[in-house]
């Protein structure tokens, strides 16, 4: 059985997004993550490393070496969330995944080799997939989970399927490089066993006589003689990703860059699954835990990051932040399968924007509830004849009867309330009598005409029972 272990030494740091690092890497400040218990450095970026900061260095020493220095507390919850996000991401290209908290992922390789036609192609696919996330990691293969973990945590960064080479590679490491308890390491060193090679040379039976059973189990699992119980990861079925920001943002325009990173992940996710997203949910998280939720809709569905970025920008233009944003979450609310294009081969390109794309932009700019379609209802009264409907619904009136092939002419612009006719007009067509509304105590009897004014305007006028004339609309 062959395994690959991925070790993420700076997982919390990789979870953050700094706007400065995107455009001007040289202006990125030195950043460290410190343990809250003893205030020692557990993660640092390249700028901090250049200043001489190392792992386990005290906060005071680090501050004296580098100024200015950004200090962030270590948060296990951030690494836990990011580790699950990476596992979910990897699940698109490999199936057997195990989380090794707080910063490791184990892959069972053997079952995937037939699919990818060999170890090299499999590992190349995994690497290409991980590159999208832009995280730092060390890796190694092994005949057992513990062997792969040992090599990866010591930055072996090699992939090999030969058992004898893998066994030889772990023999050179000192006992301190393993996950053996310090007490056990001290006991072994007192009897002259300094390296793993020395330990592996001792027969298992002799080890069982002189040391506790935990050491025997560790060695057996390390070299693959004992079974290592593994619980595989089962990802959620929907896409969701989280991005922490290195500093608070109070300008919505500055959210475009970090949002672009999340949408690029979404594009890759949808492309691999041959799917489209119809609705996204963006949550802007503040320091106090409050969240501003935004819905973004695509009428025709899309997977391209650039298309979603445009809709997100239009939506954000109407957003007023009530508190600075410290993190962004992106999730897919509605997803659809790709379908073949029904475009006419001979019609040529009709334009850069389809009707559904235009609808999506209008909804993003004005809000989904502000964009409606119009449908002819069953009531003949002009004031209530038209009904607002979902813009994606096209079809018949509520009764289900098809619209006649020669419908009555109606003006493009209807007045909210009819106005008294105050000019001389010429009646061109009519009358069309509308006598209805008796059932709700709002009855009407009107004779409608199409008329033309002396200025050349086309009017829709009517005469009521009292023979008073009114203008109800204008033809375009």
Instruction: Find how far residue 48's CA is from the centre of its chain.
Output: 30
Mean pLDDT of the 40-58 span? 94
**Which tokens go with 181?**
């308890």
- Which ranges in the chain are annotated with CATH 3.30.70.270? 3-29+68-222
- Residue 216 has a pLDDT of 94
- pLDDT-derived band at 389 (thresholds 50, 70, 90) equals confident
| CATH tag for 3-29+68-222 (out of 1.10.1040.10, 3.10.20.30, 3.30.70.270, 3.40.720.10) | 3.30.70.270
- pLDDT-derived band at 150 (thresholds 50, 70, 90) equals very high
Q: What is the pLDDT of residues 118-141, one digit of tens each?
A: 999 999 999 999 999 999 999 999
Q: What is the pLDDT of residues 274-316, one digit of tens each?
A: 999 999 999 999 988 889 999 999 988 899 999 999 999 999 9
Which range has the top average pLDDT, 103-112, 203-212, 330-339?
103-112
Least-confidence region, from 18-27, 158-167, 263-272, 391-400: 18-27
| Contacts of 59 by beta carbon, 8 Å cutoff, 6+ apart | 32, 34, 39, 40, 41, 71
d(CA 245, CA 160): 38
Alpha helices in 91-212 (DSSP H): 113-116, 119-131, 145-153, 163-171, 182-190, 196-201, 204-210
Mean pLDDT of the 437-449 span? 84
Average pLDDT in the chain: 88
d(CA 265, CA 458): 55
Residue 80: in which H helix or E strand, if any?
Answer: helix 76-90
Q: What is the pLDDT of residues 455-474, one digit of tens each?
A: 999 999 999 989 999 999 99
Mean pLDDT of the 344-363 span? 67
Please say whether the dihedral angle defined by the alpha carbons of residues 61, 63, 69 and 72, taken in this order, is positive or negative.
positive
Mean pLDDT of the 231-252 span? 89
Residue 347 pLDDT greater than 80, yes or no? no
- Which ranges in the chain are annotated with CATH 3.30.1490.100? 240-337+354-365
Residue 48 pLDDT greater than 90, yes or no? yes
Q: Is 97 helix (H, G, I), strand (E, B) or coil?
A: strand
Please say whether the dihedral angle defined by the alpha carbons of residues 184, 187, 192 and 194, taken in this order, is positive or negative.
positive
CATH of domain 240-337+354-365: 3.30.1490.100
Mean pLDDT of the 421-432 span? 92
Kindly list the distances between the CA atom of residue 207 and the CA atoms of 189, 223, 419, 468, in Å, as whole numbers in the listed order. Answer: 14, 15, 103, 111
d(CA 95, CA 378): 56
- Residue 371 has a pLDDT of 83
d(CA 280, CA 257): 17
What predicted TM-score, i.e. pTM, was given to this entire model?
0.72
């Amino acid at each position: 059985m062959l395994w690959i272990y991925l070790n993420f030494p700076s997982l919390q740091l990789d979870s953050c997004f700094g706007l400065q690092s995107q455009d001007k890497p040289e202006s990125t400040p030195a950043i460290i993550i410190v343990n809250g218990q003893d205030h020692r450095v557990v993660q640092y970026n390249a700028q901090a490393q250049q200043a001489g900061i190392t792992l386990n260095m005290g906060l005071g020493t680090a501050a004296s070496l580098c100024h200015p220095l950004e200090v962030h507390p270590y948060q296990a919850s951030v690494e836990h969330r990011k580790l699950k996000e990476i596992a979910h991401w990897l699940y698109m290209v490999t199936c057997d995944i195990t989380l090794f908290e707080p910063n490791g992922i184990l892959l069972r390789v053997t079952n995937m080799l037939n699919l990818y036609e060999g170890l090299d192609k499999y590992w190349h696919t995994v690497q290409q997939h991980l590159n999208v996330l832009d995280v730092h990691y060390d890796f190694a293969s092994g005949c057992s989970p513990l062997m792969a973990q040992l090599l990866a945590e010591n930055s072996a960064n090699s992939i090999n399927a030969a058992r004898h080479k893998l066994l030889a590679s772990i023999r050179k490491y000192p006992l301190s490089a393993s996950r053996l308890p310090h007490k056990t390491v001290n006991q072994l060193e007192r009897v002259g066993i300094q390296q793993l090679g020395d330990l592996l040379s001792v027969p298992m039976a002799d080890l069982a006589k002189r040391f506790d059973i935990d050491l025997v189990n560790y060695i057996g699992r390390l070299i693959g003689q004992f079974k290592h119980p593994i619980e595989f990861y089962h990802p959620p079925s929907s896409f969701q990703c989280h991005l922490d920001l290195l500093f608070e943002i109070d300008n919505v325009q500055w959210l475009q860059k970090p949002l672009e990173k999340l949408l690029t992940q979404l594009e890759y996710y949808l492309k691999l699954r041959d799917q489209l997203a119809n609705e996204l949910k963006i949550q802007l998280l503040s320091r106090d835990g409050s969240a501003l939720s935004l819905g973004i809709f695509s009428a025709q569905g899309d997977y391209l990051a650039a298309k979603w970025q445009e809709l997100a920008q239009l939506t954000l233009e109407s957003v007023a932040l009530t508190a600075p944003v410290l993190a962004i979450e992106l999730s897919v609310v509605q997803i659809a399968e790709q379908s073949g294009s029904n475009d006419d081969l001979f019609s040529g390109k009709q334009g850069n924007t389809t009707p559904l794309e235009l609808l999506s932009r209008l909804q993003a700019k004005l809000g989904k509830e502000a964009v409606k379609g119009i449908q002819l209802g069953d009531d003949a009264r002009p004031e209530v004849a038209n009904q607002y409907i979902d813009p994606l619904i096209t079809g018949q009136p509520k009764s289900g009867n098809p619209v006649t092939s020669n419908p009555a002419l109606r003006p493009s612009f209807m007045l909210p309330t009819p106005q008294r006719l105050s000019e001389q007009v010429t009646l061109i067509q009519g009358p069309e009598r509308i006598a209805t509304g008796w059932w709700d105590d709002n009855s009407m009897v009107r004779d409608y005409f199409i008329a033309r004014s002396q200025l050349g305007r086309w009017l829709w006028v009517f005469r009521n029972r009292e023979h008073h004339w009114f203008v109800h609309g204008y033809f375009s």
